[in-house]
Structure 1
Amino acid sequence: MTKHTILLGDSIFDNKTYVGDGKSVHEHLCEMLPDADRATLLAVDGAVISSVHRQIERIPTDATDLVLSVGGNDAIYLECNLFGQDSGNVRDALAKMKASLAGFQNEYRELIESLLQRNLPLRVCTIYDSIPNLDDAGRCGLAVINDIITRTAFGFGLDVIDLRLLCDEASDYAEVSPIEPSHDGGRKIASCIMHSLESSNPSSQVFSQS
């Protein structure tokens, strides 16, 4: 069966601006696909969870597979608003984090439900956490956010592409913007997407190797 894979989400997939003469995730994937298959990029740099609904409206009728990577920009927004708040102790700080993440959890679940209405295989990505200069507080915050992503994915029986394990070297991140995949990081991500597309095993798998 000919596959038409749709890339949805943010600049993890729409990273052409950041790789210079290198290749984007989409370009890497298109080179890896069999001749009869193709991939369409609907992801948009800067997208947040709520804006992906506009991308869903553009999914072509011949789409066979969906891959989603979103949440990083929402995480940046949460960090800017949450990390500046005063807190008397660690317990209070964690309680504030939980309350702030309730909106993220609801929005992410609603997005997954909307995508599943297309009745197509859906794979989701975690948010990588080996970004150069990411501090310990930021890494802990991403751990909580990734817990929401993985719990939601496994609750719906979806495959997960774990970018935390995949993009674990400094060279995986773009020099001009270290929160974006580089040429090398993009190749890893595209290869892992290919591996997941080729898998014939039951769902609810974690893909973390290219």
Structure 2
Amino acid sequence: MPHIVLLGDSIFDNRAYVQGGPDVVTHLRRRLPDGWRATLQAVDGAVTGGVAAQVRTLPPDASHLVVSVGGNDALRASGVLDEGARSVAGAVNRLGEIREAFQRDYRAMLDAVLAHRLPTAVSTIYDARYPDPLRQRLVITGLTLFNDVITREAFARGLPLLDLRLICDEAEDYANPIEPSVQGGAKIATAIAALTGAVAKEERRSVVFAR
């Protein structure tokens, strides 16, 4: 019996933000074929380094893994957006340091997940929705550093990719600037169901799911 396990942060573990409405894993269970199961292993607030602990307690019958993580790493680093800089080169160098640190953490996370030798997909970090236009522009620009790491690692390892930037593309997809709403969760679940149904267990290749 196929058993999908969701790993990562509050993009999947969004129950606290939907005011009693269905969360991502509930939406997913409703969209899976008969006989399929889904388990939420993701934890609200988790960073990339916390996923290794989540995979250590995988259900023994897990058959597919989906990982959405990195947003909280970006949030931790967001103070750099308010830092001063003496030159553009200095600012870019600081951003490069943040990117390299995240790359090390993300690679280590994927090594731990892929050690279980199960079909695995990853997701990008979505754009978020800040009401202040300047803050929104800065956040989206900063997130490109993190998403570059995620997409490069997914493609280098032949992993399917959920591009949440394109999936959650409406203001109503967000319960607050950084968490998915009921509508956003439904879109994410629909994409996960499509992905796990389309990617055969025996093959490893990168396919981008954007709807």
Aligned partners of 1:83, 1:152: CA distance in 2, in Å?
A: 25
User: In structure 2, which of residues 118, 121, 124 is the aligned counterpart of residue 123 of structure 1?
Assistant: 121
- 1:165 aligned residue: 166
The CA deviation string for residues 1-54 of structure 1, in whole angstroms up to 9 with x for no partner, is: x21000000000000110013110000001111221100000000000111111
Closer/same/farther in 2, CA of residues 60 and 44 from structure 1, 3 Å limit: same
Q: CA deviation at 1:90?
A: 2.0
- 1:138 aligned residue: 139
Q: Is 1:187–2:153 an aligned residue pair?
A: no
Q: CA deviation at 1:84?
A: 3.2
5+ long unaligned stretches in structure 1: none
Aligned partners of 1:99, 1:206: CA distance in 2, in Å?
A: 28
Matches within 5 A, 1:37-186: 37-80=36-79, 82-133=80-131, 134-174=135-175, 177-186=176-185
- 1:197 aligned residue: 196
Q: Secondary structure at the match of 2:107?
A: helix
Q: Which amino acid aligns with 1:132?
A: Y
Aligned partners of 2:188, 2:114: CA distance in 1, in Å?
A: 22
Closer/same/farther in 2, CA of residues 40 and 161 from structure 1, 3 Å limit: same
Aligned partners of 2:57, 2:66: CA distance in 1, in Å?
A: 14
Q: CA deviation at 1:95?
A: 1.0
TM-score by length of 1: 0.94
Q: Which amino acid aligns with 1:35?
A: D
* Structure 1 residue runs of 4 or more that deviate by more than 6 Å after TM superposition: none
Contact 1:130 1:169 in 2 (8 A): no
Q: Which amino acid aligns with 1:66?
A: L
Question: 70-79 or 86-95: which moved more?
Answer: 86-95
RMSD: 1.3
Q: Which amino acid aligns with 2:82?
A: G
Q: CA deviation at 1:130?
A: 4.3
For this pair of structures, how many residues does the alignment match?
205
Contact 1:130 1:168 in 2 (8 A): no
Q: Which amino acid aligns with 2:111?
A: E
